[in-house]
Structure 1
C-alpha cells in the first residue's frame, strides 16, 4: 500500500526541487554593474561625462570623489584589450558668471549664459582598462590636455597603492602636446 503526499507536501517538494535544480545550474555573471566616480585634475568644469553610455556625475574644477552614479557594465574578470569609451563636456571658464553685471536669470543674463555655453567643448576618448582583480567602482580621472585615465581598484584615491594619486590641483601647461 503506497502513501500519497498531501497537495501541500507535493507543492513544497516541487518548490524544493526547482530551487535545487536552479542552484545547480546557476553560473556566475560575466558582467557586473559598476558605479562610476570622477576626479577632475583641471581648472575646467566637467559638466557631464559618460562611460560606455552610463552617466557619471558633474565635477567642479580640482574636485572629485564622493559622488557615484550608476553604472557601467564591466566583466568580472579582466582580459587584455578591454576598453571603455569616455565622453565628456567641459566648461573652460566655469566661474565666468560671477562677473556678469546682469541680474541673475534675467533675459540678459540668460542670453549671456547661452553665449557662454557655445564655448563648451566636447571630447571622446577610448581608454584601455588596466588589469584588475576585485574592484569597487570605475574611477575616471580627467587630467590637463584632455588626458583621461581610469582605475578599477578596490583602494580609493589618496591611499597607497591607488594607481592615479596625482594631485587634483595640477599645474596646467600653456600648450598641450596632443592639441
Structure 2
C-alpha cells in the first residue's frame, strides 16, 4: 500500500518541480514606430511570420516561450529586415506601363518587353534599399506579477528596438513602452 501512495506523491512533486522550469508560450507581436516596413523578423530564430507596415502593429503568427523565472542575464536576439513601405516611398521613378493601343504587334511586344525590363530593374533597386539588422537585447523583468504573454518587439528609429513580455496591450496605462507610434527619424542617429 505504501508504494501505491508514494508514486502519486512523487509524480506530483516531480510535476510541480518541472512546472517551475517550463517555458510559458505566447505569440510574437510587433509595433513599428518607423517610416520603414519591417519585411520580416524573428526572435531567437523563431519567425514572426508577418510583415509590419510603417507606423503599424501586427504579428501573432510566431510563438515565443519565456522561461517561467526571469533573471537579469536573459537576452533575446531579434533579426529583421527593413524596406520601403509602399511604391510611393520609392526614391526612383516607378516605370509607367506603355500605351499599346493601335500599335503593330511587334512594336507592342518590344515596348512591353522594355517595360518589363525597366520594372525588373526598378525592383532590384528597391530590393537593394532593404537592410538586414540584428540586435541582442536584455529581456526586461516580467511585469504583470511574473506572468508573461509572449513577446512584443518595438521597432524604433535609428534601427533600435525595445522588447516587452507584458500582458497589457500597447497604449494601456500599465504597458511599459510609452513612445508614440509615429516617431520621426533624427537627422543623425547615434549609437
Q: Unpaired segments of 5 or more residues in structure 1?
A: 1-17
Equivalences for residues 42-61 of structure 1 within 5 A: 42-56=34-48, 57-61=50-54
What's the C-alpha RMSD, in Å, of the aligned pairs?
Answer: 2.5
Separation in structure 2 between the aligned mates of residue 42 and residue 31 of structure 1, nearest angstrom: 31
- Report how far residue 116 of structure 1 moved: 1.2
Equivalent of 2:137 in 127, 132, 136: 127
Partner SS for 1:142: strand
- Report how far residue 109 of structure 1 moved: 1.8
Q: Unpaired segments of 5 or more residues in structure 2?
A: 1-6, 98-114
TM-score using structure 2 length: 0.74
Q: Could you say which residue in structure 2 is the equivalent of 1:151?
A: 164
* Aligned pairs, number: 160
Equivalent of 2:86 in 82, 88, 95: 95
2:188 matches 1:175 = yes
TM-score using structure 1 length: 0.79
Equivalences for residues 15-164 of structure 1 within 5 A: 22-23=11-12, 25-26=14-15, 27-28=18-19, 29-56=21-48, 57-65=50-58, 67-91=59-83, 93-96=84-87, 100-103=94-97, 106-132=116-142, 133-164=146-177
Separation in structure 2 between the aligned mates of residue 177 and residue 139 of structure 1, nearest angstrom: 24
